[in-house]
Amino acid sequence: MASIIVLFELEPDQEIGPDGVEPVVLLVHAAGADPDAPEDPLPQTLCGLDTDAMEHAHYRPARPGEPWYPPALYDKRCRECQAVLKSV
């Protein structure tokens, strides 16, 4: 997989607001990047969930060897997405 988009699964009816109030992140997922719009995710995460209701994390590892998810959210990473990433 050439590129992934990191997405936040949030509590229902919440989104990240401009005033800095952060909603509760339930899980961090990965999706393939849309080849026609590389900043947009494909319609499903690697674990098969719909990406429409998820928030783009705008996270990219700073250097090789760093995790695909924000390190502070280690406990919230989707283990199914991680297993798919390890298998490719």
* Alpha carbon distance 83, 88 (integer Å): 9
pTM: 0.86
Q: What is the pLDDT of residue 64?
A: 87
Integer Cα distance of 42 and 27 in angstroms: 18
Q: State the Cα–Cα distance between residues 84 and 63, nearest whole angstrom.
A: 21
Q: How far apart are CA 74 and CA 69, in angstroms?
A: 7
Q: pLDDT value at position 15?
A: 61
Q: What is the pLDDT along the chain (88 residues), one digit of tens a residue?
A: 568 999 999 887 666 666 656 678 999 999 999 999 989 999 999 999 999 989 999 999 888 889 999 999 999 999 999 999 999 8
The pLDDT, as a whole number, for residue 48 is 97
Instruction: Give alpha helix (H) positions in the chain.
Output: 79-87
> Tokens 């990191």 — which residue?
6
Q: What pLDDT is recorded for position 81?
A: 97
